[in-house]
Each structure stands twice: as structure tokens, then as C-alpha cells.
Amino acid sequence: MQKVKGTYDVLPNESHKWLFLEKHIHMMMKKHQVDYVRTPVFEYFDVFHRQTEASDMVTKETYDFEDRSGRKMTLRPEGTAGVIRSIVENKLITPNQILKTYYLGANYRYERPQKGRYREFYQTGVEFIGEKNALLDAEIIQIAYEIVHTLGIQEVVVKLNHLGNTDTRLKYQNALKSFLVPLKDQLSEDSKMRLESNPLRILDSKVSSDQAILINAPVLKEFLTDTDQAYFKSVIKILEQYHIPYEIDEKLVRGLDYYSHVVFEIQANIDGFGSQNALGGGGRYDDLVAELGGPNVSGIGFALGLERLIIAAELQGISFEEDELHHVAVLHMDHESKNQAYHIYKKLLNEGIHVTFDFSNKAFKTQLKHALFHQYAYAIIIGKDEIDTNTVQIKNLVTQTQEVVSMKDIMTYLNK
């Protein structure tokens, strides 16, 4: 048996990275008072396959299936739509209040697997729903950046763009199309197709001949209304105030069609990271909540890819270790002392000490070697004499000094 193409196992010797990262994310969200929401991995087909959503991700990459009763289902390819479905269904949106929520879970896309691109992958994301306000746009960008930055990942930049409102986008889309139609034959196959389905995505093309054609294309910025320009400037001003490194990228459109206004992407410029250098991204959506049956309110969100955060952190030598814990090994000198050693081990474990015990029947010397090999800080040694005198020997494995400590004083000794 083999794992499915594009999936991976997190093996026991690397799972600490995931636990560390997930804990980091939960802590950051708590700090920013964003509440956790968990929605199902699969939803009814229509939650993702909406009329207005013609992105490749939804039209070509979803895992769609029928359940045994013939209902059409989709494994979620992204987090936002399911979360909004839940918020609307549970009537969590109240006037004049901003709902702040985050998720963390697996998504599924039938993509061509490569480094940093999988068919099952994890994302965490935040959604702020209920108001359109430059402070919120800047705040959400700062949270995304902070999660990455406080992990210790350097060389990160926020790419920013403003897509305008629906009307602006439509006007720009038409202008872009008029410009590109006469040049259609020179476009890449993908871009040719996008000319009909989603011309804005052509801006995103990685093909150099497409980019050469685009040099003289109309630019989106010139279509923005004064209000949108002012809004964008306010967002940028706040980011500058809080020293968030950003770059304006007029070609940034993002993969999903529901975005309007401010969009952003967090990119890592790390050697060895390869072409999949987006750690995450997001943007504002004006119509999505209403489209999913909710009130007519705006929202803004982002998603970060956990695999890419791990790859980026590893490339930068980040260790994923908790602050060094003083590890204690409880060793028994002979078979008769094993029960008492186990008893001490359980007591220390309940006190929250990072402690190990040898469940097998290894000789004392082997147990000690093992503790030294793993660079534990202390060994608590117990044999017949210790049991008789209600004591233990505590050996400092670094200095190799040893002391007799009364059984009842072990915790006081270790706390010191």
C-alpha cells in the first residue's frame, strides 16, 4: 500500500515541528483575540461551486464526489467559503460588530504536486467580517506577517495591490481584454483560455512572453476611483507606521475570484525555497457573505500554508524546539527497585517534569548510558539502599556530581 500522490505523512520524528507551529498559531490568535472555528472538511458542492467563482482552483482542482445517497459533495479546497457558510448558517453576524475568527485544517486540491505544493495541505486563516475599514485591512495583514515573523522567518515581504470595486474591475477587465484580443495568437495557451474566463489572471502569468506583452497593457491603478485610492493609501500608511515591509505589486490578483479592493501575498525570498515562495495571502471580499446567503457585509481574510512555513523555517535553521527543558531520567539499579522507580517517575510526570523511565529491563549501566547519550540534565537513581533509607541519588549529568536527597524533597531539589 502507498500513500496517495501529493500527500505526505508526518512521521513521529518530525511531528514536533507541526505541534510547535500549531501551538504558535493558536497563541498568536489568542493574543489578537481571534476565536477558533472548526468546520467540516467536506461541504455541499454548491458552497464552493458558485456561479461567480470561475477560478482554476474551483473549476479544475476540487475533489468532488457523490455520497451514497447521491448528494454532491466537495472536499474543501480552501477555508474561507466553509467558514462563511457556517457563520451565516449560525447567524453570527450582528450589525455594527466585527466578527473575528480563525481556522486551521486540511484542504484538498488536485494540483500537480511539487515541493511546497500538495494535494492535501494545511492552512490557517483569519476572517474579519462586518465592516470595511482600512484599519482592519492593515490589522489583518499585520497578523499574517506577525505569525511568520515571530516564528523567526526572515526575508519576508508583503506584496500589496488594490483591485478596485466590482465596477472598476469590470471596466479594467474590458480594457485589458480589448488590448489583448488582437495579440491573442502570441499569448500562452493558458492565457488564451483565461482571456475568456478570467482575463485578470493573465497578469499573474509566469510565462515571460506573456509578461512582455503586458508591458504596454493598461494598468489597473489608473481605473481606481478616488475613494479606493485614498483607502489604499490609508492601509499603506498604517503598515508603514508599524514597520511592515511591503511592496506594491500591480500585477498581484490572487487565485480566487471573490476578492476585490485590497489583496496581498506574503512572500519569502529565501535561497532554496523555489518557485512556490508564497507563504500565504488574502484580501477583501465584498460579495461573498451575501452570496452564501448572509447579509450584505464586507469581509477580509488571509490564509497561510503550514507546509511552506515549515519549509521556510527549516531553510533558515529554526529548531522548532520548546525552550530547553531540563530532562530527568529515573533509573533503577536492580530489578527490585523498579516499582519504586516507576512510582517516582509517575509522581514527577504529574508535577509536569520532563521525565523518562526505562520500561524495559535494561541493566543500570545501559540506562545511564542512554541518559548521557540523550544529554539529559539529571538522573534520579534508586536501588535497595535508597529504598531502605527513603532517599534517592540525584546525579547532575553535566557536572557528574551526585547528592543524596530525601524522597520527599525531590521536587524541591529539582525546582532549585
* Given 82, 164, 281, 301, the residue binding ligand AMP (CB under 6 A): 281
Given candidates 20, 121, 259, 378, which one binds ligand AMP under the rule CB under 6 A?
Answer: 121
State the minimum distance, in angstroms, from the CB of residue 1 to ligand AMP: 23
Residue 185 to residue 202: CA distance in whole angstroms: 14
Q: Chain centroid to CA 72: how far?
A: 28
- The single residue among 21, 29, 76, 78 that binds ligand AMP, judged by CB under 6 A, is 78
CB neighbours of residue 43 within 10 Å: 17
Q: Using the rule CB under 6 A, is 314 a contact of ligand AMP?
A: no
Q: 165 is written with which cell numbers?
A: 470595486
Residue among 109 and 162 whose Cβ is closer to ligand AMP: 109
Closest distance to ligand AMP from the beta carbon of 43 (Å): 16
CB of 407 to ligand AMP, least distance (A): 52
Give the nearest distance from C-beta 263 to ligand AMP in angstroms.
Answer: 10
362 grid coordinates: 535494561
Stretch near ligand AMP under the rule CB under 6 A, chosen from 155-163, 305-313, 369-377, 394-402: 305-313
Distance CA 398, CA 390 (A): 25
For ligand AMP (CB under 6 A), the number of binding residues is 17
Judged by beta carbon, residue 58 or residue 353, the one nearer ligand AMP is 58
Instruction: State whether the Cα torsion 20-22-27-32 is positive or negative.
Output: positive
- Closer to ligand AMP at the Cβ: 29 or 81? 81
**Residue nearest to ligand AMP as judged by C-beta position:** 305
Q: Could you say whether residue 105 binds ligand AMP (CB under 6 A)?
A: no
Please report how close the Cβ of residue 361 comes to ligand AMP at its closest, in angstroms: 46
Of the candidate spans 19-27, 64-72, 118-126, 228-236, the one that interacts with ligand AMP by CB under 6 A turns out to be 118-126
Cα–Cα dist 27/20, whole Å = 11
Contacts of 48 (CB under 8 A, 6+ apart): 58, 62, 74, 76, 77, 78, 81
Closer CB to ligand AMP, 118 or 172, in the complex: 118
Helices first, then strands: H and E counts in the chain? 15, 16
Q: Please select the residue that binds ligand AMP; options are 76, 109, 194, 284, rule is CB under 6 A.
A: 109
Rg of the chain's alpha carbons, rounded to an integer?
Answer: 28
Bridge partner residues of 35 (DSSP) = 101
In the complex, what is the shortest distance from the CB of residue 51 to ligand AMP, in angstroms, rounded to a whole number? Answer: 20
Q: Is 45 exposed, middle or buried (0-12, 13-18, 19+ CB in 10 A)?
A: middle
Query: Which is nearer to ligand AMP, 86 or 391 (by Cβ)?
Result: 86
Q: Which of 127, 257, 286, 307 binds ligand AMP (CB under 6 A)?
A: 307
Q: Provide the 3-class DSSP secondary structure of residue 368.
A: helix
User: Is 283 an interacting residue with respect to ligand AMP (CB under 6 A)?
Assistant: no
Helix (H) or strand (E) holding 403: strand 402-406
Closer residue to ligand AMP in complex, CB, 82/305: 305
**Distance separating alpha carbons of residues 243 and 241, to the nearest angstrom:** 6
- Among 117, 338, 347, 362, indicate the residue that binds ligand AMP (CB under 6 A): 117
Q: Are 329 and 355 within 8 A, CB to CB?
A: yes
Please, what is the minimum distance in Å from the beta carbon of residue 113 to ligand AMP? 8
**What is the x/- site pattern for ligand AMP, positions 248-277, by CB under 6 A?**
-------x----------------------
Q: Identify the helix (H) or strand (E) that includes residue 169.
A: helix 166-180
Residue 216 CB, nearest distance to ligand AMP (Å)? 29
All cell numbers assigned to 282: 488574502
Ramachandran assignment for 96, one of left (phi > 0), alpha (psi -120 to 50 degrees), beta (any other): left
What CA–CA distance (Å, rounded) separates 346 from 29?
34
145 near ligand AMP (CB under 6 A): no
Measured from the CB atom, is 125 or 383 closer to ligand AMP?
125
State how far the Cα of 107 lies from the Cα of 116, in Å rounded to an integer: 14
Does 177 interact with ligand AMP (rule: CB under 6 A)? no
Among 279, 318, 328, 392, binds ligand AMP (CB under 6 A): 279
305 near ligand AMP, judged by CB under 6 A: yes
**Do residues 402 and 394 lie in contact, with contact meaning Cβ atoms separated by under 8 Å?**
yes
Could you give the angle at the alpha carbon of 165 between the alpha carbons of 159 and 171, nearest 5°?
105
3-state secondary structure of 363: coil
Which spans of this chain sit near ligand AMP (rule: CB under 6 A)? 78, 109, 111, 116-118, 121, 123, 255, 278-281, 303, 305, 307-308
